[in-house]
């Protein structure tokens, strides 16, 4: 796991980009799908990684290797859009939390 090197350097608690705030193992999520783009990764919790997988399965986005480069890009874009949908929800929740904190100080 690539994120272990950060933990070894003192970054013990990497946050999950998809909002899971429970302490736990952080995994590498291949945002576009490992077989579509192996280099694009993000830190997510095990729970969030399962959510991404379930949503991709529900949307019928194939995560299998595709020989045709145009179809592979199309699948990578679809897989990425599923990740960004969940990331967008997290950003909204973080914004809501910050507004509530700001109201406490004003």
pLDDT digits (tens, 9 = 90+) for 1-53: 566 666 677 665 667 888 877 767 788 899 999 999 988 988 888 899 999 99
Domain tally, the chain: 1
The domain in which residue 59 lies consists of 3-105
Residue count (the chain): 106
For the stretch 64-79, pLDDT in tens is 999 999 999 999 999 9
pLDDT attached to residue 101: 87
pLDDT of residue 43: 87
Give the number of other Cβ atoms within 10 Å of residue 30's Cβ.
22
Q: pLDDT at position 16, please?
A: 81
How confident is the model over 40-60, as pLDDT tens digits? 988 888 899 999 999 999 999
- The per-residue pLDDT for 15 is 72
User: Dihedral angle at the C-alpha atoms of 55, 59, 65, 67, nearest 10 degrees?
Assistant: -150
């Amino acid at each position: 796991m690539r994120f272990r090197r950060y933990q070894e350097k003192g970054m013990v608690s990497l946050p999950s980009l998809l909002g899971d705030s429970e302490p736990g193992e952080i995994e590498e999520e291949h945002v576009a799908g490992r077989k579509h783009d192996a280099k694009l990764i993000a830190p997510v919790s095990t729970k969030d990684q399962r959510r991404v997988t379930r949503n991709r399965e529900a949307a019928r986005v194939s995560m299998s290797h595709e020989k045709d480069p145009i179809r592979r890009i199309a699948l990578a874009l679809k897989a990425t859009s599923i990740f960004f949908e969940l990331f967008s929800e997290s950003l909204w929740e973080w914004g809501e939390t910050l507004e509530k904190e700001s109201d406490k100080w004003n």
